[in-house]
Amino acid sequence: MTNIADKIDSVLQTIEDTVGKPEEGKPLVLHEPWLDGTNSWLYLKDCIDKNWVSSNGHWVNEFESRLAKYTKAKYSIAVCNGTVGLRLALHIVGVDAESEVLIPPISFVATANAVSHLKAIPHFVDIDPFTLGMSPISLSRRLNDIAIKKDGLVINKETGRRISAIVAVHVFGDPAEIDSLKEIADEWDLPLVEDAAEALGSWYKNTHCGLIGDVGVISFNGNKLITTGGGGTVITNDENIAEKAKHLSTTAKIAHPWKFEHDDIGWNDRMPNINAALGVAQMENLQERLNKKLQLFKRYKQNFEEFKDLEIIESINNCKTNHWLISLRIRSIEPTEAQNIIDKILENAVKRNIFLRPIWKPLHKLSMYENCPRGSLYEAEDQACRIINLPSSPQILNTAGTITN
């Protein structure tokens, strides 16, 4: 066994040295909401006092406006969660039943589920071990191996099905190599959808994640950088996509003072006003959250430097990450041994009331997706054995202190 196997207690002690020990009766969790010190109560009271608690109201418009301004998107359409936002985006760019959508196997299950909700088929493409997002090399190789252009469509030669889109995921808030993925998508005339669920506050070069592809989706689930309880937004610079997203997410209803007229099969996907009010309150201190996350990342990186077989994962050059979930990677040892060490760390962490998390089980290993088309997924399977998410709530530093640059 490698040397790190003998230092599991030291690893857990380093986590406690970084963020503090769990309080009596309160576990050290992965990422919890931070509402203290915000105007959440004030804005929620406004919703209740005015009886505007559903999917219309001032706060929805305000939240969309602030998101668009911050991300520099031309359009932001708030929805009730990130999964429906992704399903909506995929539908708008042309994903339909029995077509294939190229996605990475390392992501939360919602990425694949959104494809399945449209009765389309996930087609897995390997990841880059540094970004953990889809590998441009693997994407190009996979398309060249199995795809042809025919009558304006991209067809999988092996299955005979149309390939309708590519989904890039910004894993843990760290940007994928999205410009290279976009070049490949354009070469094949395929729409590129960005699953930026975890990436509010993350930028690829000078562009916010979600805005290099045709359309992007951000999540505001309870464990995200800001939360609306449940919620998401579709961001895009394409007016046509934005208009369709707004229309279809509001049951495709045609505006009229009293008539109920609908011109398409839509969904009831809109974010309620009361949820948007929470989002606005947290947008007001978004930069403070990002600053604290950066400080926490630096503290983890500094404290784990003594472990030669461990590393804190960093984003690639020319990118700015939100450090949503700061992650520890075991390197330089065989995958099976790495997995055994990960399991021991997780087991002992629970005993100390520290809730860590392994990376998601690769999607192609889930029973409902195990027969989906795929090429070699070596990097995805290798990285899945090596990574643990660490406690990453920005407010941890309120009690654990700060470090200097």
Whether the per-residue pLDDT at 378 is higher than 50: the answer is: yes
Please classify residue 161 by burial: count the beta carbons closer than 10 Å to its beta carbon, then call 0-12 exposed, 13-18 middle and 19+ buried: middle
Nearest to 169 by CA among 126, 198, 140: 198
Choose the final residue of a domain: 283, 313, 332: 283
Does residue 122 sit in the same domain as residue 271? Answer: yes
Q: What is the pLDDT of residue 2?
A: 58
pLDDT for res 404: 37
Structure confidence at residue 400 (pLDDT): 54
In a domain, 357, yes or no: yes
Residue 92 inside a domain? The answer is yes
Residues 330 and 236 in one domain: no
CATH code of the domain covering residue 166: 3.40.640.10
Whether the pLDDT of residue 159 is over 80: the answer is yes
Q: What distance in Å separates the CA atoms of residue 403 and residue 325, rounded to the nearest whole number? A: 19
Q: Residue 21: which domain range?
A: 3-34+286-400
The pLDDT score that the predictor gives to residue 25 is 78
Residues 117 and 255 in one domain: yes
**Which strands, in side-by-side order, build the sheet including 310-312?**
310-312, 327-330, 387-389, 357-358
Q: Are 403 and 329 in contact (CB under 8 A)?
A: no
Q: Mean pLDDT over all residues of the chain? A: 96
Residues 6+ apart with CB under 8 A from 139: 102, 125, 166, 181, 184
Q: Is pLDDT above 80 for 342?
A: yes
> Per-residue pLDDT tens for 187-232?
999 999 999 999 999 999 999 999 999 999 999 999 999 999 999 9
**How many domains would you assign to the chain?**
2
Would 375 be classed as within a structural domain? yes
pLDDT for 287-329, tens place per residue?
A: 999 999 999 999 999 999 999 999 999 998 789 999 999 999 9
Q: 63 φ, ψ to 5°? A: -65, -45
CATH number, position 392: 3.90.1150.10
For the segment 345-362, the average pLDDT, to the nearest whole number, is 96
- pLDDT at position 384, please? 98
Q: Is the pLDDT of residue 402 over 70?
A: no
Residues 81 and 133 in one domain: yes
Whether residue 383 is contained in a domain is answered as yes
For residues 263 and 155, state if they share a domain.
yes
pLDDT at 1 over 60: no
Last residue of a domain, one of 283, 313, 343: 283
76 and 181 in a single domain? The answer is yes
The model's pLDDT over 59-75, given as tens digits with 9 standing for 90+, comes to 999 999 999 999 999 99
- Whether 405 is covered by a domain: the verdict is no
Residue 154 maps to a domain: yes
User: pLDDT (tens digit, 9 = 90+) per residue, 85-108?
Assistant: 999 999 999 999 999 999 999 999
Of the pLDDT bands very low, low, confident and very high (cuts 50, 70, 90), residue 258 is very high
pLDDT recorded at residue 204: 97
Q: Above 90 in pLDDT, residue 398?
A: no
* Residue 405 confidence (pLDDT) above 60: no
pLDDT at 403: 46
317 lies in the same domain as 267:
no
Q: Looking at the structure, do residues 262 and 150 belong to the same domain, yes or no?
A: yes
Q: Are residue 22 and residue 55 in the same domain, yes or no? A: no
Do 175 and 134 lie in one domain? The reply is: yes
Average pLDDT over residues 237-243: 99
Answer yes or no: is 332 within a domain.
yes
pTM beyond 0.85: the answer is yes
Domain boundary among 241, 257, 283: 283
What is the mean pLDDT of the segment spanning 268-290? 98
